[in-house]
Each structure stands twice: as C-alpha cells, then as structure tokens.
Amino acid sequence: MSISMYQASAPRFVNTLNNLSGILDKVQAHAEAKKIDPLVLTASRLYPDMFALARQVQIACDTAKGAVARLAGVEVPKHEDTEQTAAELKARIAKTVAFIETFKPAQIDGSEQKDLTIKLGPREVQWKGMQYLLGFALPNFYFHVATAYGILRHNGVEVAKRDFIGNP
C-alpha cells in the first residue's frame, strides 16, 4: 500500500483545475453584478511585476499538463497563451483537463526515479520523477492557483477557500 505517481498527479491536478474553473465562474458573475469590464479582473495583478490573473491560470495549466506529460514521457503539447476573458480561461482549463484525462495510470506509475531535465528559464535542472512532482510541480501548481485566488479576493470577488479545496 502506498501512493502511486498517478494518484499523486493527474487526479490532483484535475480536481484543482476544476475548482479553479468554478472560481472563474464567479469572476464573470461579479463583473456583471458590479458592472465592471471583466477584462479588468483577468488583467489584475498583486504587484506591477507579478503576473496577471490570466497568466496565473495559464501557468497553472501548463504546470499540470507538463508534469503528467513529462512523467509519462510524451511530448508536452503547446497551448498558446491567448486567453483574456474568464470564459476563454475556462476553455483553457477544460482543454488541459481533457489532455490530463487521456492518461492511464500505467503511463505515469513507476516514474518515481525517472530522470527528467527541466528548463527553468535559462538553466536546466536534473530531477528524479518523484522529486520533480512533489518538490516542484505540485507546489508550483498550487502556488499559481492560490495566487489567482488571491488576485480575485483582493479585487473583492466573493470566493472562499472551500472553492479552492473543493471536494478532495
């Protein structure tokens, strides 16, 4: 009895991405109720040199799809970063979830010690599969979803932590 690499990755990403999609529903509703241009919210950020909400969502998606693809040893699909509205960001999430759901446990299980080379900006790091998943991909993924949530809270959108956690 133990945790498989699949259990620690694909269903976790899918669960939180779906929660993030639900959070984005409230962006549209909030903008309509307050008569705010909804692009104000998706372009909002916590500090001038931080990424805006839309980019936080895109990076969360890329972190999730990159993790399952790398662990399974398949090419990471490129999704262009063109989304601006909450509806477009929800579609990006749906596309990411659909990709992750194509993976079967056997494609990802057993990748604990797999050698991975990850590009981080200008440098490349060598990690084992488990180290990459638990120490980089998951913290990074939750970081960007939590930051997206923080941007919305900071702008008065009424989301709550239960929307982030969802149904574990």
Q: Coil, strand, or helix at residue 160? A: coil
Task: Tell me if 90 contacts a second copy by CB under 8 A.
Answer: no
Q: How far apart are CA 14 and CA 3, in angstroms?
A: 17
**CA-closest candidate to residue 52, choices 90, 26, 86:** 86
Contact between 33 and a second copy per CB under 8 A: no
Q: Which residue, 11 or 77, is less far from a second copy as judged by CB?
A: 11
In angstroms, what is the minimal distance from the CB of 105 to a second copy?
A: 11
Answer yes or no whether residue 147 interacts with a second copy by CB under 8 A: yes
> CA geometry: angle at 124 spanning 48 and 107, to 5°?
105
Query: SS3 letters for 26-95?
Result: HHHHHHHHHCCCHHHHHCCCCCCCCCCHHHHHHHHHHHHHHHHHHHHCCCCCCCCCCCCCHHHHHHHHHH
Please, what is the minimum distance in Å from the beta carbon of residue 146 to a second copy? Answer: 4
Q: State the minimum distance, in angstroms, from the CB of residue 24 to a second copy.
A: 17
Q: Which of these ranges, 27-35, 90-98, 100-108, 157-165, lies near a second copy under the rule CB under 8 A?
A: 157-165
Out of 29, 43, 46, 94, the residue judged to bind a second copy by CB under 8 A? 46
In the complex, the residues that contact a second copy under the rule CB under 8 A are: 1-5, 7-8, 12, 15-16, 46-47, 50, 109-110, 112-113, 127, 130-132, 134-136, 138-140, 142-143, 146-147, 149-150, 153-154, 156, 161, 164-165, 168
